[in-house]
Amino acid sequence: MSLWTDLLGAEIRHVTAAGVPTRVAGLGSGAPVVLLHGRGGHLETFARTLPALAGTGRRAIAFDLLGHGLTAPSPSGSYTVEELTGHALAVLDALGLDAVDLVGQSLGGWAAVLAALRAPERVRRLALIEPAGLQAETERLADPAVRRAYERGGRAYAEPTPDAVRTRLAGLLADPAGVDPELVQVRTELYRPEEARRVHRQVRAADNGPSLLTPQRLSALKAPTLFIRGEHGHTPAGVVEAAVSAVPHARLLTVPEAKQWPQYERPDLVNASLIDFLSKEDHA
């Protein structure tokens, strides 16, 4: 399979959200489910997820976060998770979506939680794939393995060669050999403009400390929530389990043989779990 076949039939367009031209991909029709990618990513993160959700009678939508992919930079120059959350809610407005299911990966998961807290009436359900925000940056980078991955991944922003981008993507996978050459090519082109690299450096440097997903903050969630973690993910299992315990009626799926991108490495298992979670709640 390739990005072309995975996204065959998808509508790709730009909408203006709070003044920001934003690239959006959509497949299918029915109740909307919106997917938010991670830091430094783009909507192709979900190339293996969108068709599966659309195939169950859902309108599956992914878009490039503020300043990411082919979405324009932030008018304010700010790239905090709160700013990205505000843009995400503006995209829902631009698409005419009153209430949706949200699926967020990494930074997108953090933004999805904040969106659900900021506008609970707009978020029916939450699926959080290796969500960021469960640890302070200093605590996270105190782990030598995480710091090494962080530093290796950052080289793609300094000099976006195919090798540097491949290294960044390989750091997300339990099996580095699973990196798709086509995805490397797409991401290399998206990282190539200096403005794109500058934005990603700003996203990394943003002060998100005040917005951490503390147990107290998570306990205020009203939407049914599914946490999905990779067996070899960077966030310690105990930290994820504490977050799950803080959310009323949350459940946890640990994906074997996966790291930061379980939806990419094990799409069969993750897609089936997402579909089950969304369809069961429909009848709750």
Rounded distance between C-alpha atoms, residue 143 and residue 235, angstroms: 10
Instruction: Let me know if residue 237 belongs to a domain.
Output: yes
What does the pLDDT read at residue 40? 94
What CA–CA distance (Å, rounded) separates 109 from 129?
A: 6
Please list the residues that pair with 105 across neighbouring strands: 129
Confidence grade of residue 227 (pLDDT, cut at 50, 70, 90) = very high
Domain at 33, CATH number:
3.40.50.1820
Tell me 43's DSSP state: G
What total number of domains does the chain contain? 1
Q: Are 59 and 195 in contact (CB under 8 A)?
A: no
Q: Are strands 20-27 and 251-255 parallel, antiparallel or unpaired?
A: unpaired
Q: Determine the average pLDDT of the residues in 204-231.
A: 97
Q: How far apart are CA 110 and CA 36, in angstroms?
A: 9
CB 23 within 8 A of CB 12: yes
Instruction: Assign 282 a pLDDT band (cuts: 50, 70, 90).
Output: very low
The Cα–Cα gap between 191 and 64 comes to 13
Residues 232-244 have pLDDT tens digits of 999 999 999 999 9
Per 3-state DSSP, the chain is made up of helix, strand and coil in percentages (nearest 5) of: 45, 20, 35
Write out the residue range of the structural domain in which residue 88 sits.
3-136+210-282
Give tens-digit pLDDT for 92-132: 999 999 999 999 999 999 999 999 999 999 999 999 999 99
| Separate counts of helices (H) and strands (E) for the chain | 13, 8
Model confidence over 264-277: pLDDT tens digits? 999 999 999 999 99
Q: What predicted TM-score, i.e. pTM, was given to this entire model?
A: 0.96
Output Rg (C-alpha) for the chain, integer angstroms.
17
Binned at pLDDT 50, 70 and 90, residue 249 comes out as: confident
CB atoms under 10 Å from CB of 15, counted, come to: 17
pLDDT at residue 83 is higher than 90:
yes
Whether 270 is in a domain gets the answer yes
Q: Is 115 part of any domain?
A: yes
| Per-residue model confidence as pLDDT tens digits over 126-173 | 999 999 999 999 999 999 989 998 998 899 998 999 999 999 999 999
What share of the chain in percent tops pLDDT 70?
98
Query: DSSP assignment, residue 258?
Result: -
The token pair at 148 is: 């090494």
